[in-house]
């Protein structure tokens, strides 16, 4: 027999596992995974995101994939969409940069400017 506290524990744990079917207002990390992205190393980048989020218990952040955006030379490209809908595009990503984005952008809300497309393209 389970106690009320135990039930609550199961509830919490399971919700973490299946929360992505429920949460709509959270960060969304979109990794470009077309041929160009995959060739440039998008898979390890995405796995790094999943791993890092798991490590930090950030279960309400979604990691999804998308196709080619058209700037294939800057792949792997990752877009981070905030709950308010604003979007930051990171380019030439690698697993280390992914870890940084989670720590700085997702957790602390500070955009990693040096990794963004604006920086890479010299737009000030």
Residues lying near other proteins in the complex (CB under 8 A) are found at: 1-4, 7, 10-18, 20-24, 28, 30-35, 38, 46-47, 50, 53-54, 59, 62-67
54, 68, 85, 87: CA torsion to nearest 10: 80
CB of 122 to other proteins, least distance (A): 27
Q: How far is the CB of 9 from other proteins (least distance, A)?
A: 10
Query: 64 vs 113, which CB is nearer to other proteins?
Result: 64
* Nearest distance from C-beta of residue 124 to other proteins, angstroms: 28
Q: For residue 46, report the phi and psi dihedrals to the nearest 5 degrees.
A: -65, -40
Q: Closest CB to other proteins among 16 and 92? A: 16
C-alpha pair distances (Å), 14 with each of 17, 34, 56: 5, 32, 17
DSSP percent split of the chain into helix, strand, coil, nearest 5: 50, 15, 35
The nearer residue to other proteins, 48 or 74, going by C-beta atoms, is 48
Cα four-point dihedral sign 30, 35, 36, 38: positive
Rounded distance between C-alpha atoms, residue 45 and residue 40, angstroms = 10
Cβ distance to other proteins smaller for residue 13 or 124: 13
Least distance to other proteins, CB of residue 32, Å: 8
């Amino acid at each position: 027999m389970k106690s009320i506290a135990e039930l609550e524990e199961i509830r919490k744990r399971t919700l973490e596992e299946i929360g992505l079917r429920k949460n709509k207002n959270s960060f969304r990390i979109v990794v470009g995974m077309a041929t160009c992205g995959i060739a440039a190393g998008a898979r390890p980048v995405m796995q790094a995101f999943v791993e890092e989020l798991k490590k930090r218990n950030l279960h309400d952040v979604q990691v999804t994939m998308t196709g080619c955006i058209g700037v294939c030379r800057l792949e792997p490209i990752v877009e981070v969409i905030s709950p308010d809908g604003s979007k930051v595009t990171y380019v030439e990503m690698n697993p280390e940069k992914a870890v940084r984005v989670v720590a700085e952008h997702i957790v602390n809300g500070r955009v990693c400017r040096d990794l963004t497309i604006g920086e890479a393209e010299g737009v000030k």
